[in-house]
Structure formats: C-alpha cells, structure tokens
Structure 1
C-alpha cells in the first residue's frame, strides 16, 4: 500500500510528472559529472602529482562557491523572470557548457593543465546555471502541486533524488573507466537535453505573481525580511544552519572515524557508506504516513533532534554491524527532515517570493558547513599539538568528540525550537476568542496544516 501511495504522486498531473522528470534528469547529470570529474583528475590528469589533494579541493570548491555567491542573486532574478522560460534557458546553457567541454577534450590541446581548467570552468558555469534553474522549478512546483498532495510530492522527490544520486555516483566513474571522458560528457549532455524537453512541454500558465520592486537590493532585502518574519520560515532557516554545522564537521570526520577509529577496510567502509542513502530510500517509501500522523512542522523539528541523537549514537559505536544499523537509521531520519522542508516552504512562502527565499537556504547551509569544516580542521590540528591521537578509539578521540559536538547542535537546536514553537502555539490558543469565551470544542491540539 505504501508503494502505491508513493508512486501515486505521479497522478497529480502531467505537468508535475514533466517537472519531476526534469528534476531527476538534471540532478542525474549533476551527480554524474561530480563523481566523474573527481576520478578524471585523480586517475588521468594528476595520478602521481603531490598537489592532488589540493586539486581535488579546487574541484569541490568550484561546485560550492557558486551556491554561496550566486544563490541569493539568482533567487531575486528568478522571482522577476518567467519561471518556465528561466528553466528552459538554463537547461540550454548547461547543454552548451558540456558541449563546449566535449569540443575542448576532442579537438583542443589535451595538456592536463588546460583540461583541468576546462573542467573547473564547466563545473562553475553549470553550478551558476543550477542556481537559476532550481528556484524557478520550485516556484512552478508551488503552483502545480495541490496543497493536499505536498507531502506526497515531497516524498516522491526524495525517493527519486536518492535513487538518482546512488545511480549517478556509481555510473559516472564506471562510464569514465569503460568508455572514457567523452562518453561521460555525452551522457551529461543527454540528461540536460531530456530535462529541457520535459520543461518545454510544461504549460505556460503556471506563473507566480511577482512581488518585486525593480531594484535588486530592495528585492533581496524584501525576500530576506519575509523569510525571517514568517515564523515557520525562520524555524526552517535556523534549522538549516544547525544542520550546516553538523554537515561541515561530518563531511571531514565521518569517513576518518570509520576508517581510523573503527578500523574498517575500504570495502567495509563502502558498505557502511551505503547505509545512509539506503535509509533515505526506506524512509521515502514508508515515512509519509509518519509525517501525516505527526504533522509536517512537528516532524521537521523532531527529525532535526533525532538526527542529532543518531549521530551521537554513531560516535559511540565500536563495531561494523552496529555502525551500519545506526547509519541506516540516520539516513531514514534525514529523509524525514528533507521531506518536510518542501511542503513547509510551499505553504509558508508567499506567492512571488519562492525564488528569493528558497535561494537563501542553500547558501546558508554552504556557509555554515564551510565554517564548521574549517573549525573541525583547526580542532584536529590543535588536538594533535596537545597530544591527542585522532583515531585511537578512546573516548578522547578527536574524531568521536567532533561528531558529538556537531550532533549537539542538531539535538539542542531542534529540541529548543520545538519547545519555543509549542509554547507559542499554546499561548496563541489561550488568547484566542474561542478559548476566552469557553466555546472551544476540544482541549486537544488541533491537527497541523500539512
């Protein structure tokens, strides 16, 4: 029954299915080239170069920096422009960017330095284009999805994107190893071309009413004020920052904890790493009933705290089997957290503000994640100078302590926001006319809007 409910989201309408396919194929291209570019640089361009770690870092930064710099800018213009046409233009741009990269690889001087520069430029331009495409798609989705189907659609999106991420991340290096860079680039071009065809077929009637003044900074500030002054949007924004702290620490420590502290082999760590996306898939299939039962807003905050507890549990494990079980649970909880964000935004964001507000969250997560990654690296350097051995398995192990520190942000942040929200909700009910006049029909809390 859960599976029927899951894929029943496709019955929302033909335009929803086209937008869903456009998102799936464009995301497939992004994940595929991200995994391919890393292998390309490490295996073909600079396999023995001592600068390889720094070069891989440049590849990662090329994908991250555009989200921070161009995300808010793209949000303002996505609210000004025709959303559907913005998606179409940016799919054309990405097709052109990867076609140019293919021409460079095929015909230009193939020295490692020039190819590496072409890869970096391709990643940057593709990411900039994605910053315009994604908020525009979110604005159209807000109008296409009926309010009573938003949880269902968010669950479907989480299910498909997790599957896409797993398949594309595995497919990219495999295609590159078997057929070379040219074929991998052609696959990326094909995915964006399919996304383009799906978007072109979406009806032109889904256009949000624009709430813009015509001045960039005024429009940007207007969107930021709307995000902060709307209570549930403020909660989501703060929650995204808490998650960014944990993400930044975990991205640099989780793998080292598994390989060093737990002493896992690369094959065992690969099995452990699979558990998180597997938990995403499981929760995307079965979590929709839990969200409907608890309510979207409560589920969001409870999932944030539960994810913190999950990472604390992971930092305390000592065996592969236990670590796999805990990581599976963390993946399932994270899926709940992500599935709640879409419906919250679609309900709380005023029409005409989706581009600016949705574009705020990505840069905020990237900024807090980058800052916490820097904090983690400095903490590891400091602990090494103080004689603490990272990966020794003790309770003073810096890897273990950093994971717990990041998890504390999630647990305390989510729990604190939940208590504040619950207190404000009780206060609003106690001061409502129905309660003051004694005409309220029930003392139980009314069900949340979903």
Structure 2
C-alpha cells in the first residue's frame, strides 16, 4: 500500500497546498514591488521612503475600508465559492499589471507608475478581505477539535514563514536579472494554482450551527454588522487577543517600510541582498512556530505575552545598532522568534471564541484594526524618514546614529513599553468566548475557557500575516498580505 502525504485530512492538505504556493507568490510579489519602487522607480530620490510606504498604505486602506463590511457578506455567502472568486479577481489584477510592466520605466511618469502599483495593491487586498474570513471559516469546518486546529495553525504559520524564506531571495534575482514582469507573472500563476486546489476541496455537510443565521432579513447589513461588533466587544478574550496583535503590528511596522534603506545605508550591503533579510525573518518565524506551543505550556499565556514583548523590543533596539550585514541577519532571525511565540496561541483561540455565524465578522474586526496599527506605523516611519528626520545624524558618547536606525530604536522602545504594560495589565486567567449578544454561549465559546492555571487549552497557532501579514507587513495570507 502506497502511503499518502496528508496533513490532518485530505481536504485540509489541498487547502494548505494551494495557500503554500500562493504565499510564495505573495512573498515574491511584495518584495519585488518594494525593491522596484525603492531602487528603480525612485532611485536617488528624496521621496523614495514615502513612495515605499505608499505600497504598504494602499494595502492597509483596502483592509480598513472594505474589511469591516466584507465579514457580513462572507457570513452570508458560500465560503468555498467566495474563495474561488477572489482568486480569479486577484490573479486577473496581477496579470493586468504584468502586461503593463513590459513597458520601459521611462514610458510613463513616475507618478503614474506609482498610481498603477498602489491601485493594484489596493484592489488585491480589497479582494483579500473576502478571501481571508472565508478561509478562516472553511478551516474551522475542515478541521475540528482543538488539537487538530492547533496543528493546522502551526502548519500554516510555518508554511507562511517558509514562503518568506523562499520568496524574497527569488525576488531580487528575478527583478534585477529578468525584470519586474516575470516576478509579477510568478504571482499571477500562484493564484491559478490556489484556485485549482480550492476547487478540489469537498466541504463537509452543513451542520445546524453553520446553517444558523442563513436567512437574513432584507436590508439587514447594518444590523448584522452592528451585531458582529457587539459580539466582539462583549468578549473580553477577543479584545485581549486584538490588543496583542495590534502591539505586534505597530511595533514592527517600520521594518516593512525602511528595512530596504537600512540594508544599504546602515548594513552597507547591496540592494540585491535585501531579500535575505526577509529569509532570516522567515527562518525565525518557523523556529518560533515550532517552539511556541511548548513555551506557552511552560510559561503560561500571560507570561509568554509580556516576556515576548520585552525580548522583542530589546532585540529590535539591538538590530538598530548593527553596521554589518551578517550581524543584521542574525539579529533579525532572533528578533522574529519571540514575536512568533507571542502569536502562537491566537489562531485556535479565535476559532473557538467565534461561533460559525460570527466568524466572518470577527475576522472583519480583527484584520482591519491590526492593519490600521501597521498602516500608521508604516506611514509615520516613512514620513519621518523622508522629512522630519531626514537629516538626523551624529554621535552621542561615541555611538553614532542616523535616520533609519533612530526610528528602529524608537520602535523597539515602544515594544518594550508595551511589554511592561502587558505585565501590569493582563489578567492572570484568560477566558475566551464571552456571551454573544442576544444568545447564550454556544459550545464553541464554552470550549475556549482557559484552564485554572491561566494557560489556554489551545496553545499552538499564530495570527494570519498580513501579512501579513503578514506581512511586513507582508500581504496577508493577510500575509493578507494576501493570505
């Protein structure tokens, strides 16, 4: 009998495969755009940092404008069909930009190029606001039980980070050796692979819980959106998870905007090596994903939170003082580990804290708020680097400082202060799944109650990157980046 490679179950494996390929495409796409804008379109221009921050801001605007209402419609629609349609839309958008990119750079004004890039990124992430909550709900239906959901979350996080090991080193050679269009084409094809994988999934038969709320009153979008907000706001546990995600996004937002400039100016490395910094962060994320569950079990969720924040902040400050490329890579790797550990308990807890009828709207609150923190950090850091702190430089006590490293150090200090706040403010025991507005708590909420020692029952997972993030931020796979 020939063994089959299956992760948890067959349909989850297909979902995972499609998103693994798509995540690599997103990593190549995001890194390529940042590099192209910074080193080709805005080469030697004072407004280059602002131009790069605009790429990140475009994704954030889509999340903030479309995201909150997208959850209402995702809760109404067939989740698998929603995912399929968004992959078609996103693949088509990237294909159009690919065709345009065959033009010489000087064929269009820089402002028009930036407008095309920003519009494409905005529309990609707008579509992603329907994809990510739908995938969240599909995952909850395909994978049941806290243990398997924890495994799925850990696999997803490790896969996303692996994509950022593979993708960025591919992006720079593709851009500088082959051209922008080939990196864009790679991402367009990755959406096609994701579409085929999702189409092959067989969804389980609807349960009573998943069918609940299927009939909506006419004109009830505003009412349903308000009900989702009330559900989220009344859950102290969901609010606490959101706060942690915001802290993580806001603390590292400057990296996504300014790290390419830090590479060339502070680490004295060629721009073509920039992708290896993303690879280092990916390796750190995998390490954190693999050890995060054990850390949470050992220390408890509360201690893991504030210790991870303190350690991450100190490491970001240390990274800001690096002047060599190898030292920078090492610090970025170590810095990413506690950040990932901080997030490892979140995904399965979100799955259990939100009942099936509210999953889309829960994520429609979670994604936009964390993206807002990332957007504010990206825009603020780009503005400071390009204007207010542009000419900052000097030496204090023999320690030299400049524009970008000063911003990174300030971001690290913010993360440290957040760790102190978490130590003082977080409750000793965590409770997920407060009563939803207008109904008694269901089994999903009851199952998410923390154990007596304050350690959540589900302990292995990570918030989606945006990426993702994550990205960083990386497009959510929100990487969306576009996950």
- What TM-score, normalized to structure 2? 0.73
Residue 170 of structure 1 corresponds to: 169
Residue 433 of structure 1 corresponds to: none
Deviation at 1:418, TM superposition (A): 4.9
Q: State the alpha-carbon separation in 2 of the partners of residues 177 and 259 from structure 1.
A: 16
Alignment of 1:217-296 (within 5 A): 217-251=222-256, 264-266=268-270, 274-295=279-300
Q: State the alpha-carbon separation in 1 of the partners of residues 276 and 107 from structure 2.
A: 37
Q: State the alpha-carbon separation in 2 of the partners of residues 37 and 395 from structure 1.
A: 31
Secondary structure at 1:352's aligned position in 2? helix
Residue 28 of structure 1 corresponds to: 24
Which among 306, 309, 317 is matched to residue 304 of structure 1?
A: 309
Who wins on radius of gyration, i.e. which is larger?
1
1:102-159 CA-partner distances (Å, limit 9, x unpaired)? 4555799993246665444333322211111111101111222231122222221111
In proportion to residue count, which structure has more helix?
1
Which among 341, 347, 362 is matched to residue 342 of structure 1?
A: 347
1:300-342 CA-partner distances (Å, limit 9, x unpaired)? 4543343234334445667776655443221111221233221
Matched, 1:37 2:33: yes
1:194-231 CA-partner distances (Å, limit 9, x unpaired)? 10111111123376345566522322222222222212
Which among 191, 215, 221 is matched to residue 216 of structure 1?
A: 221
1:384-414 CA-partner distances (Å, limit 9, x unpaired)? 89xx636776388776664454334434434
Deviation at 1:74, TM superposition (A): 1.7
Residue 156 of structure 2 corresponds to: 157
Matched, 1:64 2:64: no
* Residue segments in structure 2 that go unaligned for 5+ positions in a row: 432-450, 459-483
Q: State the alpha-carbon separation in 2 of the partners of residues 63 and 296 from structure 1.
A: 31
1:118–1:269 distance in 2 versus 1, CA, 3 Å: closer
Deviation at 1:184, TM superposition (A): 3.3
Q: State the alpha-carbon separation in 2 of the partners of residues 320 and 43 from structure 1.
A: 18
Q: Tell me how many residue pairs correspond in the alignment.
A: 424
1:43-101 CA-partner distances (Å, limit 9, x unpaired)? 66676877665554444433332122212122222122111110011111122223334
Q: State the alpha-carbon separation in 2 of the partners of residues 331 and 183 from structure 1.
A: 30
Residue 125 of structure 1 corresponds to: 123
> Is the CA contact (8 Å cut-off) linking 2:24 and 2:164 kept in structure 1?
yes
1:222–1:390 distance in 2 versus 1, CA, 3 Å: farther
Aligned residues: CA RMSD: 4.0
Residue 203 of structure 1 corresponds to: 202
Residue 142 of structure 2 corresponds to: 144
Deviation at 1:349, TM superposition (A): 1.8
1:167-208 CA-partner distances (Å, limit 9, x unpaired)? 222323423444444443432222111101111111233763
